[in-house]
Amino acid sequence: MAFLQVEDIHKSFGQEEVLKGISFGLEKGEVLSIIGSSGGGKTTLLRSLNQLIIPDKGVIKVNDEIVFDASEGKLSESMLRDRRLHFGLVFQQFNLFPQYNVKRNLTLAAELLCKERGKAAGKSAEEIKKEIKQLDAKAYALLVKVGLENKITAYPGELSGGQQQRVAIARALMLSPDILCFDEPTSALDPELTGEVLKVIGSLKSSESTMVIVTHEMEFARKVSDKVIFMADGVIEEMGTPAEIFDDPKSAKLQNFLNKSQNLGIDDMESGFNAREWAKVAQDGEECLKDNELIRF
Amino acid sequence: MSFLEVTVNLLDGFKTSLFIFFITLLGALPLGLIIAFGSMSKVKIIRTITRTFVWIIRGTPLMLQIILIFYGPGLIFHTNGLGRLPAVLVAFIINYAAYFSEIYRGGIESIAQGQYEAGQVLGMTKTQIFFKVVLLQVIKRIIPPMGNEIITLVKDTSLARVVSVTELLKAAQDIVGLKAIIWPIFYIGAFYLLFTGLLTILFRFIEKKLDYYKG
């Protein structure tokens, strides 16, 4: 049984069936990229994992534990929250909290959770306070990881899009999710800013971190992923290793899609990155991997 | 009648105006929030009822509402009804709650869905999301329209005289009628100006306080 097991997920909006039975598995430490044209159901699938959208049918398991089962019906809020926490999500639009500084953006949810769980476990106020102190240290370490420790007291409105997205990544890591999801993390960024974000995502790759990335950055998907899913019209059209998907596409739809994105030069246009720069990103990522100081999540 | 005597008399009326002002805020600020949630309810019947209610209250003059609430119970049920001042307070609270509710609704609906979603994926409860994430952003956005509405309220308190509540305007009119001097009616303008001036400063201060972040 795979670490993340997705079985037969269906979702309709009104008459339109957006997900028509999605199943796949992902091992711990693997990176999965989901590619495909707009309207193919990529984002819906990702939001289903995080249960921002509740699928009509299907089962999702993490580490053999059921985190979603449509046959259970509507869950209580606390149940739903617990299960959601298996997944982290980085949004296309960052969605940082504008009224809080960078540090508070990271610690707010973690602190609330820490208090709630501490109380439920009957811990003393002292113990809880100590744990909250540790969260500060964790927040700092994560900001170092995304290279923004000098922005710890800045407000989101004072940061560039790329910096905001890096803060959002750190914020998602604060809660140590089993699986970290990215919903087109660079689509809202200016071309010159996508590189820094992709670099950070690439550097997160480790044997402990499992990631699902919806992306239009084909070069990035090829370099970073262990597995690639090509979605079209609500089904998984093709699934395989990056080499299989990008170098040896089987279905006409995928061939068509890859041709189109190449002809348009989407990769280069969107990221302003060329192959040489990518090679450097990959190298940086590998160096990070050698570093044993990777923060586990 | 000396300037001092007139001032003392007017201050008495001004006290009533201030009383109406503060009690209205006290009642209408929370009531408006309840109405706002009603008009955003997922249940269609609740939404329809609250929206119709807001339409009626905003669509008729406040003066008419005061008259109706003061005289209505006596005419319809032949009871004594409310006293003059309580009737005025009820009318003001209902009227202003309707206006506030629309400002709240606009503020709440202007917050991007992503803010709620970010809270959700971070394991926050609905209550935590509302109070820790959304509320301050809503307040920042509604301060300017609320300032407008609250300054209007200061001047609207003069409508209470329609059921013979001696607020500032009526106090001045009484002097004019009794003593045959006209200037006190102009003098009260200074009272209103002074008070709305203070409120303007207060709102500017709050706006500045919330200016520390963008968005």
Interface check for B122 against chain A (CB to CB < 8 A): the answer is yes
Residue window 106-125, chain A: list those with CB within 8 Å of chain B: 108-109, 112-113
Give the C-alpha separation, B108 to B36, whole Å.
9
Task: Say whether A98 and B214 touch across the interface (CB within 8 A).
Answer: yes
pLDDT above 50 (res B14): yes
At residue B117, the pLDDT reads: 92
Interface check for B5 against chain A (CB to CB < 8 A): the answer is no
Q: For tokens 């008259």, what's the residue?
A: B67
Interface check for B177 against chain A (CB to CB < 8 A): the answer is no
Q: For tokens 């596409």, what's the residue?
A: A249
Percentage above 90 pLDDT, chain A: 19
Average pLDDT over residues B170-178: 87
pLDDT tens digits along B96-123: 999 999 999 999 999 999 999 999 999 8
Least confident of A30-34, A153-157, A202-206, B191-195: A202-206
pLDDT above 50 (res B174): yes
pLDDT above 60 (res A287): no
Give the confidence band of A98 by pLDDT, cuts at 50, 70, 90: very high
| Residues A181, A50 contacting (CB under 8 angstroms) | yes
Give the confidence band of A297 by pLDDT, cuts at 50, 70, 90: very low
Percentage above 70 pLDDT, chain B: 100
A256/chain B closest Cα distance in angstroms: 33
Average pLDDT over residues A251-263: 82
Task: Say whether B215 and A77 touch across the interface (CB within 8 A).
Answer: no
pLDDT above 70 (res A131): yes
Q: In this structure, what DSSP letter does residue B213 have?
A: S
**What does chain B come to in residues?**
215
Q: In this structure, what DSSP letter does residue A251 have?
A: S
Average pLDDT over residues A249-261: 84
φ, ψ of residue A242 in degrees (nearest 5): -55, -40
Task: Say whether B133 and A97 touch across the interface (CB within 8 A).
Answer: yes
Task: Say whether B121 and A97 touch across the interface (CB within 8 A).
Answer: no
Give the C-alpha separation, A89 to B73, whole Å.
58
- Contact list, B112 vs chain A (CB under 8 Å): 93, 95
Q: Taking the CA of residue A21 as centre, how many other CA atoms within 13 Å lie in the half-sphere pointing to its CB?
A: 1
Single out the residue of A35, A81, A93 nearest to residue A244, CA to CA: A35
Domains and CATH numbers, chain B: 3-111+142-195 (1.10.3720.10)
The distance between the two most distant Cα atoms of chain B, rounded to a whole number of Å, is: 71
Interface check for B131 against chain A (CB to CB < 8 A): the answer is no
Task: Say whether B137 and A98 touch across the interface (CB within 8 A).
Answer: yes
pTM: 0.81
Give the C-alpha separation, A92 to A188, whole Å.
6
Amino acid at A156: P
**Distance (Å) of CA A268 to CA A216, A218, A281, A291:** 11, 10, 15, 30
Mean pLDDT of chain A: 83
B127/chain A closest Cα distance in angstroms: 11
| Residues A229, A35 contacting (CB under 8 angstroms) | yes
Average pLDDT over residues B139-153: 93
Interface check for A227 against chain B (CB to CB < 8 A): the answer is no
Give the confidence band of B133 by pLDDT, cuts at 50, 70, 90: very high
Distance of CA A138 to the CA centre of its chain: 19
- Residue B89 structure tokens: 């307070």
Considering only the beta carbons, identify the residue of A81, A108, A171 that sits closest to B125. Answer: A81
Which DSSP helix (H) or strand (E) runs through A179? strand A179-183
Cβ-based neighbours of A55, under 8 Å, separated by 6 or more: A9, A10, A11, A19, A48, A68, A70
pLDDT tens digits along A215-251: 888 888 888 888 999 998 888 888 989 888 888 888 8
Which DSSP helix (H) or strand (E) runs through A135? helix A125-145
